[in-house]
Structure 1
Amino acid sequence: MLQTLAITGPIYLVIALGFLAGRAGTFSKLDMRVLGTYVVKFALPALVFTALSQRRVDEVMNGRYVLGYAVGSLVVMMAAFGWAWRWQGKSFTLSALCGLGCSSSNSGFIGYPIAILAAGPSSAAVGLAMCMLVENLLMIPLALVMADSGHAGAGKWYRILMQSLSQLSRNPVILAIVGGLAVSLIGIPITGVLARTINMLAMSSAAVSLFVIGGTLTGLKTKGMRRDVTTIALGKLLLHPLAVGLMMWLVPPNDPTLRAAAVVFAATPMLSIYPILAQKYGFEEMCAAALLLATVLSFLTISIALWVLGPVLGWAA
Structure 2
Amino acid sequence: MLDILAITTPVFILIGAGFGAVRAGLFSSTDVRAMGRFVIQFALPAMLFKTLSQRSIGEIMNLRFLLAYLLGSLLACAAVALFARYAARRAPLTAVLIGMGGSMSNSIFLGLPIALQVVGPVASVIVALVVMVENLMMLPLLLAAAESLGKPGAGLLPALLRIFERLLKNPLVIAISAGFLASLLELTIPTPAVKAIDLLSVTSAGVALFVVGGNLARAPVGGMLGDVGLIVFAKLVLHPAAVVLALLLVPGIEPAYQAVAVLIACVPMMSIYPIFGQQYGQENLCSAALVVTTVVSFASITLWIWALGRAGLLAGAGLG
TM range (shorter): over 0.9
Q: Which residue of 2 aligns with 1:90?
A: 90
Does structure 1 residue 56 correspond to structure 2 residue 56?
yes
Higher mean C-alpha displacement, 173-182 vs 278-287: 278-287
| Cα distance in 2, alignment partners of residues 296 and 202 from structure 1 | 27
Q: Tell me, in whole angstroms, the C-alpha distance in 1 between the residues paired with 2:206 and 2:96.
A: 32
Which residue of structure 1 lines up, in the alignment, with residue 22 of structure 2?
A: 22
Q: Which residue of 1 aligns with 2:137?
A: 138
- Paired residue for 1:39? 39
CA distance in 1, matches of 2:52, 2:291: 32
Q: How far apart, CA to CA, are the structure 2 residues paired with 1:43 and 1:112?
A: 13
Deviation at 1:219, TM superposition (A): 4.2
Post-superposition offset of 1:111: 0.2
The equivalent residue for 2:6 is 6
Instruction: Give the unaligned 5+ runs of structure 2.
Output: none
Q: How far apart are residue 50 of structure 1 and its match?
A: 1.2
**How far did residue 153 of structure 1 move?**
2.5
Check conservation: 2:277, 2:286, Cα contact below 8 A: yes
Once residues 172 and 80 of structure 1 are traced to their aligned partners in structure 2, the CA distance between those partners, rounded to angstroms, is 30
- Residues 211 and 255 of structure 1, relative CA distance in 2, 3 Å threshold: same
Aligned to 2:300: 301
Aligned partners of 1:241 and 1:25: how far apart in 2?
Answer: 36
Distance 1:316 1:27, change over 3 A: closer
Shift of residue 221, structure 1, vs aligned partner? 4.3
**Equivalence for 1:270:** 269
Of 290-299 and 81-90, more deviation after overlay is shown by 81-90
- Alpha-carbon offset, residue 191 of structure 1: 3.0
- The corresponding residue for 1:260 is 259
Unaligned segments of structure 1, at least 5 residues:
none
Q: Percent identity?
A: 42
CA-to-aligned-CA distance 1:49-90 (integer Å, 9 cap, x gap): 111101011100111110000000001111111011111221
Residue pairs, 1:240-259, within 5 angstroms = 240-259=239-258
Q: Kindly indicate whether the alpha-carbon contact (under 8 Å) linking 1:222 and 1:229 is maintained by their aligned counterparts in 2.
A: no
Amino acid at match of 1:144: L
Deviation, structure 1 residue 284:
1.4
CA apart distance, 1:250:
2.3
- Runs of 4+ off more than 4 Å: 313-317
> 2:201 maps to what in 1?
202
Alignment partner of 1:218 is 2:217: yes
Post-superposition Cα deviations, 1:157-215, rounded to whole Å, max 9, x if no partner, equal 11100100000110000001110000000011113110011111111110000000001
Q: How far has the Cα of 1:149 moved from its partner?
A: 2.1
* 1:97-124 deviation line (CA, Å, top 9, x unaligned): 11111001000000000000011111x1
Superposition deviation, residue 253 in structure 1: 4.2
